[in-house]
Chain A
Amino acid sequence: MYQLTSVAKLYHKGRRTVAAVQDLTLTIDDGQWLAVQGRTGHGKSTLLNLLGGLDRPTSGTLELDGTSLGALPQTRLTQVRAAKIGFIFQTFNLIPTLSAAENVEAALIPLSAGQSRRGERVAAALDSVGLADRAGHLPTELSGGQQQRVAIARALVKDPKVVLADEPTGNLDTDTRDDIIALLEHLWRDRGLTLILVTHDTTIARRAQRVGVMNNGHLTIRQDSPNR
């Protein structure tokens, strides 16, 4: 469970101070799907970075399961990311030199799992996204949708508690977008994930339990259907 209390993230650009996130107090329960919308530059990705422990709040507290991410030393924060948080990016961020299976395996490296165990988990993850037969393919040999499936498998292979998706369908066509969202929704339901998804797409956002809109660093919850 995420508990954000008066979280703010400020950036200094010369003499100017930009508040990417301001006075954000929010609770995200385990297993919830929160969609975050908003215009470009209004703090969506910053919020995701804060939730993922990739950045620290300037003020306020941000807790994941009672642990303040902002106060954790870098090593511990890295461990939290490795064990509990899966990331899905708009541009997939697959390592171009590694095959689909190796890209997925990369997420297991920090967990010190044995090679055979890693192999089993990678195969299962790729199977769960329908790419068992593409394990040896390089990213350049896969379509955009397939690359995003690999990225989803990479996010899920470590059985994370939270998946943070930043515009996961932003680079995909409509049909592929629907496939990916359907897959994410299926995995969310199936695995009881906490899914926080940043999107410009209202049709996608509406499928979430909660929809928040970021505007000048402020988050406003517009849809709250926790029982969906």
Chain B
Amino acid sequence: MFFVTYVRRELRRRMRQAIFVALGLALGVGLVVTVAAASAGVTRAQFRVLRTLYGAATTVTVTGSKWQAPSRPPKGTPAPQMGPHGPEICVAGGTCTSAAGKTLSTFDTLTEGISVAKVAAAARLPGVAAAAGGIFLNQSSLSWPKNGASTARRGGNALGARMGGYPLEGVDTRHPTLGPLGGASLISGRSFTAADAGAHVAVVDAGYARSHGLRIGAVLPIAGPADANGRTPAIRFTVIGIVRQAAGSNPPSVYVPLKAAQDLLWLQTGPASLHGKVTTIYLAAASAADVPAVTREVARLLPGTKVTSASGLASEVAGSVTSAAKLANDLGRWLAVLVLIAAFAVASLLTMAAVARRAAEFGTLKALGWRTRRIIAQVLGESLAVGLAGAAAGIGLGYTGAAIIAAVTPSVSATVGSNGEGCCATLIGGSPVQTVAVPLHPSVSAGMIVLAVILAVAGALLAGAFGSWRIARLRPADALSRVA
């Protein structure tokens, strides 16, 4: 009780100094909390991008090697071209027909297929908890109006056609949580089950469903392989689920069972080119510690493929989200450290000055029979109280800083390179690079609060320790002589 009373009264007497020291500590701690919150927000933003692309459970991704387009399109491949009477759809090695009133749909991928057997082999590797194959396809379509052929222009994709398209993912229905579907939130219907393996069912993105008027049970026609005349009759898929995915991250709009996706692809080397193959293998490591070994083993098992771990995936994210991460991790961290050091130094100097001013007081206490360690405990108690006040204020400043960052920088851009397959519809000349807006939500976690308290208290106790060192060296007679 006496201890507390003495601490309280002393701090009240030196209120301005105590507030100054506490604010200094608070500034340093607040900056640390803000930087940590921003860093956590950036990490979460990166994670959201990756989660959308690769799925929450995926820790290692394997993608096939880059597909080399054949110098000549395979026989039976339809392609638009400008004929003497307007746009035409010509089948390689076949005939050309007018494109007026027709739609040419294609699916393509940019990577070579990986045998499904390799998926099973990867699943058997030590440290692998689960493995799933996936096919990422880009659906591209060109539609010509019935009377619009005359307005067509020669060259490129601009053949007077309206362009469309969406990304589609073939999902291993035994492991729907591996891959991008695993990162989506189901808002209606259901996800795939193993029983859906051979079914023509689809799970669609909420935005895509809204824009196309799709509901659970609705029929989604997806253009199938072209026939000999270049026509692509639609295959009817039934919508069984609608999912919400990270806004702006350009996730697949449509998910279908892997088998159905394999059937859809034809452009690469022919209609059956991906039968029995996948373009991506999603692996879940048994633990984080297994990731490096799994990465090595998979690379050995599948030479020529691109094996990327979660950390490697993060490095694929570029754009302002990366700049923000660098800012938070480099400049922010060092700035916080510098401010902390300055705060600690100021607190130490002020505490030592206070001890020097109170030499007579401590000398008196020693004359009264107080042990040095009891006096030191008293000073450390005062420092502890200042540290706790600094921690509380620092947490407040940290929350404020995080709120300001959230208000000033509501979102950052994340430029994600092709996941090995990309979008790249040859017909629409798409780019393999996607730049998406990612919401930035800096947040203060319980761990950060604990860190703030530890830092502030440590700083205050460090300052108190310097003061204590002086007290320990203080000879009572010398201390008392400073009064007389």
CA distance A105 to B369 in the complex (A): 12
Take A79-B369, A83-B369, A87-B368 as given contacts and tell me if A96 and B13 are in contact as well, using a CB distance cutoff of 8 Å.
Answer: yes
Q: How far is the CB of A69 from chain B (nearest CB, A)?
A: 13
Question: Are the C-beta atoms of B477 and A54 separated by less than 8 Å?
Answer: yes
Residue B69, interface by CB 8 Å: no
Interface stretch (choices B156-164, B248-256, B358-366): B358-366
Q: How far is the CB of B371 from chain A (nearest CB, A)?
A: 5
Residues on B with C-beta less than 8 A from A143 are none
Question: Are the C-beta atoms of A93 and B483 separated by less than 8 Å?
Answer: yes
CA distance A225 to B483 in the complex (A): 33
Interface stretch (choices A26-34, A106-114, A173-181, A200-208): A106-114
Residue A98, interface by CB 8 Å: yes
Closest to A115 in B: B1
Contacting A at CB under 8 A, from B1-32, are 1-2, 5-6, 9-10, 12-13
CA distance A85 to B369 in the complex (A): 9
Residue B374, interface by CB 8 Å: yes
Question: Are the C-beta atoms of A49 and B484 separated by less than 8 Å?
Answer: no
Question: Are the C-beta atoms of A154 and B484 separated by less than 8 Å?
Answer: no
Closest to A102 in B: B5
Q: How far is the CB of B316 from chain A (nearest CB, A)?
A: 61
Residue B370, interface by CB 8 Å: yes
Residue B301, interface by CB 8 Å: no
Take A96-B13, A98-B9, A109-B374 as given contacts and tell me if A78 and B477 are in contact as well, using a CB distance cutoff of 8 Å.
Answer: no
Question: Are the C-beta atoms of A107 and B2 separated by less than 8 Å?
Answer: no
Q: How far is the CB of B354 from chain A (nearest CB, A)?
A: 12
Question: Are the C-beta atoms of A106 and B5 separated by less than 8 Å?
Answer: no
Residue A185, interface by CB 8 Å: no
Residue A81, interface by CB 8 Å: yes
Q: Number of contacting residues on B, CB 8 A?
A: 28
Question: Are the C-beta atoms of A54 and B483 separated by less than 8 Å?
Answer: no
Residues on A with C-beta less than 8 A from B2 are 102, 105-106, 109, 115
Residue B270, interface by CB 8 Å: no
Contact of A110 among B13, B360, B371, B480 (CB under 8 A): B371
Q: How far is the CB of A223 from chain B (nearest CB, A)?
A: 26
Take A95-B361, A96-B13 as given contacts and tell me if A110 and B483 are in contact as well, using a CB distance cutoff of 8 Å.
Answer: no
Residues on B with C-beta less than 8 A from A97 are 6, 9-10, 12-13
Q: How far is the CB of B482 from chain A (nearest CB, A)?
A: 10
Q: How far is the CB of A82 from chain B (nearest CB, A)?
A: 2
Residues on B with C-beta less than 8 A from A110 are 368-371, 374
Q: A110-B371, A166-B484 are in contact. List 13 more A-B contacts (CB 8 A).
A: A54-B366, A54-B476, A74-B372, A75-B371, A78-B366, A78-B371, A83-B369, A89-B364, A95-B361, A95-B365, A102-B5, A102-B6, A154-B368
> Hey, which bits of chain B sit against chain A, CB under 8 A?
1-2, 5-6, 9-10, 12-13, 360-361, 363-372, 374, 475-477, 480-481, 483-484
> Hey, which bits of chain A sit against chain B, CB under 8 A?
45, 49, 52, 54-55, 74-75, 78-79, 81-83, 85, 87, 89-91, 93, 95-98, 102, 105-107, 109-111, 115, 154, 166
Can you pick out 9 interface pairs between chain A and chain B where the beta carbons lie within 8 Å of each other?
A: A78-B370, A81-B368, A82-B368, A82-B369, A85-B369, A93-B360, A98-B5, A110-B369, A111-B369
